[in-house]
Amino acid sequence: MHHLVFWTICLAFQPVLRCAYPPPCDSEIYCTGELLRQMQMAKLFDDDKYFVDMKLKAAPDEVLAAFHNLTSVSPGSSLKPSELKEFLKTFFEEPGQEFEKWTPNDWHDKPYFLSKVSDTKLHSWAEKLHHLWKSLGRKISADVRDHPELYSQIYSPHPVIVPGGRFREFYYWDSYWVINGLLLSEMRDTARGMIQNFLGLVERYGFVPNGGRVYYERRSQPPFLTLMVESYYQATKDEKFLRAALPTLEKEYNFWMQNRSVALSVNGTQHLLNRYSVQVGQPRPESYTDDLELAEGLMEGAQERLWAELKAGAESGWDFSSRWFVDHHGNNSGTLKDTRTSHIIPTDLNALLCRNERTLASFHRILGQSTGVERFELAHRARLVAVEAVLWDSQMGVWLDHNLLTDSRHPTFYPSNLAPVWAQCYSQPSMGERALHYLQESGAFKYPNGVPTSLENSGQQWDLPNAWPPLQLMLIEGLWSLPIAEAKDLAFDLAQRWIRTNWLAYIKYEAMFEKYDVTGDGKPGGGGEYEVQLGFGWTNGVALQLLDQFGDRLTSGSAGLTFDLGAALLCGALCVLL
């Protein structure tokens, strides 16, 4: 926390104090420096991620020396695109060299969950999704272990399932839904290996980086590792694994409490809550030109602050969204340039940590470690009080993000407002009931193909009209957990809508997408910094979870299924009355 106080003060006076930001990583090729700048600014590739994923053919020092040699001919000016291309040809290889072909050896063709899917079309689709794990499996080659300096890839010993498309490496929070899907596919070795990789990263970095590249080294993502271990433990009851993992899970928890927390006082009582915050004031190497162009015209300190806020946005997993915009009035509006992620206390991060605290207490209980049980029960109780005092809005009957700049809540709809229902992080049952009514009144259900990420079309990925698999599942699981029949009906209805959306896009494109558009039947999502990606790890994991849970009732559905929920509920109510 002192760390953050220091940075907040330092950054506020950045032009005067000139606090030095740490670089995005230590590599002078993949993260900072003139070579990176010239390569990215020349826009030799459609996607800035391409260059920073290329393999070096010679040691970094040698490559840098050759580059300096070339540029010293006319200092201060950039090389011509043709010279840069020549340089690339000499010293770099195409991305993808860091992986070996790998087919999961724990894959088999008859996992139990398939037998639960009764609709014949959905059943054969579920089989295809189960097959997709084989094409998304990657093993990092031994050469990355032996020569890490030649790659931006972070070496991890166990094979992984990647999201797909431009996302050639593992991603942190994506992997939670991937692992849940793998466990349904009875691929326990693969799931365990992925978790072991993450545990190893916590040992190495103190937290789990955003993804498996050095340029992600200074930021994390929503902390789902504890829940990955919970899923694995539920599937295997492997206490030995739990015992070995627990100290590392606590280490990650400590990182969030020490380096990503903020204290605030409500009515004289201090509360400790969490936020996303990354103190690296440089363009993201993998989105270099986007970041540079966005910051054009800003003063020096303001540019660096914006880049740090964009990185915090990436850490939130919602990169990018109007959810993180704070305009100069302190209102939750503006454009990407107004991104102020670190000034917002997010409902979903705090709900997740609340669930982590309860889960860590339960792990200690399983292992008979009473001191640990006490520590995390205490933390969980404090979290419940803090979430209620700061995030619960008794007027709107839901939890809302808290803006630290204005000391007020953002009354805007996001599915994340209901994350405390999913995490079961509330003390009064009436709160769950009120949150259900809030959701019903929110306007989020007027879209037949899923719940949008917000009701504002900002052109960013994490806004209308995009719907994302993890947000659908968290809503569905939350609603399902409420002891209210109406909530369970709604949960099923959302599951049906989402499966149908996935399915329609699948039969149209023979592909699974990272996100979908709620305004069209079977339409992939769009917007943001890159083209919509195929694959796709978390989409498949979430679909398998829904097919497992509701497979006896889900249908591939006639087109007539776009029924109006209001009418359906009314009919439901009338039918009960009659």
Question: At closest approach, how far in Å is the CB of 307 from ligand NAG?
Answer: 17
Nearer to ligand NAG by Cβ, of 202 and 487: the residue is 202
Provide the minimum distance between the beta carbon of 267 and ligand NAG in the complex, in angstroms, as a whole number.
4
For the CB of residue 57, give the shortest distance to ligand NAG in the complex, in Å.
Answer: 13
**Cβ proximity to ligand NAG, 361 vs 387, nearer residue:** 387
Least gap, CB of 268 to ligand NAG (angstroms): 8
Tell which residue, 18, 25, 9, 14, has the closest CA to residue 311: 25
CA distance 318 to 217: 18
Of 266 and 561, CB closest to ligand NAG: 266
All residues at 6 or more sequence positions from 201 whose CB lies less than 8 Å from its CB, including other chains: 154, 156, 207, 208, 209
Spatial CB neighbours of 61, under 8 Å, sequence gap ≥ 6: none
Residue 319 appears among annotated catalytic residues: yes
What does residue 158 show for φ and ψ, rounded to 5 degrees? -95, 145
Minimum CB separation from ligand NAG for residue 285, in Å? 19
**Nearer Cβ to ligand NAG, position 2 or 240?**
2
DSSP 97-133: TTEEE---TT--S--GGGGG--SHHHHHHHHHHHHHH
CB closer to ligand NAG, 374 vs 407: 407
CB of 66 to ligand NAG, least distance (A): 4
Q: How far is CA 349 from the centre of its chain?
A: 11
Residue (215 or 550) nearer to ligand NAG, CB: 215
Of the pair 65, 263, the CB lying nearest ligand NAG is at 65
Instruction: Quote the CA–CA distance of 319 and 302 in Å, as a whole number.
Output: 20
CA distances from 113 to 161, 447, 546, 557 (A): 20, 29, 11, 20
Residue 514 appears among annotated catalytic residues: yes
Beta bridge mates, 408: 403
Q: Which is nearer to ligand NAG, 35 or 490 (CB)?
A: 35
- What is the smallest separation between the CB atom of 298 and ligand NAG, expressed in angstroms? 22
- Per CB under 6 A, residues contacting ligand NAG are 2-3, 65-66, 69, 206-207, 255, 258-259, 266-267, 329, 331, 389
Q: Choose the catalytic residue: 48, 348, 514, 548.
A: 514
Contact 172, 198 (CB under 8 A): yes
Round to whole Å and give the CA distance between 224 and 541: 15
| Minimum gap (Å) between residue 15 Cβ and ligand NAG | 24
Please answer whether residues 207 and 220 qualify as being in contact, where contact means their C-beta atoms are separated by less than 8 angstroms: yes
Tell me how far, at minimum, the Cβ of 397 lies from ligand NAG, in Å.
15
Q: Which is nearer to ligand NAG, 1 or 571 (CB)?
A: 1
Instruction: Copy the structure tokens of residue 478.
Output: 């939350």
Pairing of strands 92-93, 55-56: antiparallel
Enumerate helices (H) and strands (E) in the chain, giving the number of each.
Answer: 22, 14
Please report, for residues 100, 156, 256, the alpha-carbon distance to residue 144 in angstroms, rounded to integers and kept in the order given: 11, 9, 29
Q: List alpha helices for 206-299, DSSP H.
A: 225-236, 239-259, 288-294
Starting at the edge strand found earlier in the chain, the sheet holding 137-140 runs 99-101, 137-140, 160-161
> Cα separation of 444 and 397, whole Å?
16
Give 62 or 374: the residue with its C-beta nearer to ligand NAG: 62
Instruction: Quickly tell me which residue has 């399983």 as its tokens.
Output: 366
Q: 3-class DSSP state for residue 171?
A: strand
User: 2 near 259, Cβ under 8 Å?
Assistant: no
Q: How far is CA 77 from CA 38, 63, 64, 479, in A?
A: 10, 19, 16, 59
Signed CA dihedral, 389, 396, 414, 489: sign only: positive
Residue 246 token pair: 């627990």
Q: Which two tokens stand for residue 6?
A: 């220091």
Active-site pick, 319, 357, 463, 477: 319
d(CA 206, CA 342): 20
Catalytic site residues? 319, 514
